[in-house]
Amino acid sequence: MISYPIYKIIHISGVLMLFLALGGMLLNRTRPHPEKKLISITHGISLVFLLIGGFGALARLGFVGTLPGWAMAKLAIWVVFAAGTFFMARRPTLSLSFWWITLSLGVVATVLATTKPF
């Protein structure tokens, strides 16, 4: 049985990998680059780590069955981050907007996880 701290480490590692990948995508948006495959792989692995760590931590906290509102909001943010690569590739001219959206959603997810308001 995996403990809560291990799930938390997996989840936070996923967050670090996600922001590393999204930053790499945003900075290399207008030119072909050899690291594109590595960035995409990192993005995909980070999303898996976030799901495993997040749902594992929820189970260890006793949230089984229905999800609390803050967890559903974080799951919606996860979907936006997962789909973000699609939009970044299609609209490279909006990269500055994506930069601020990514940062803002990261802060919102942090506040939700820390305060668990609903």
| pLDDT tens digit sequence for 27-71 | 877 677 788 889 999 999 999 999 999 999 999 999 988 899 999
| pLDDT, position 113 | 93
Cα distance between residue 19 and residue 96, in whole Å:
15
Mean per-residue pLDDT, 96-117: 93
Cα distance between residue 86 and residue 89, in whole Å:
5
pTM of the entire structure?
A: 0.89
Domain positions in the chain are 4-115
Pick from 109, 103, 111: nearest CA to 23: 103
Q: Is 71:105 a contact under the CB 8 Å cutoff?
A: no
Q: Is 18:47 a contact under the CB 8 Å cutoff?
A: yes
Q: Is 109:74 a contact under the CB 8 Å cutoff?
A: yes
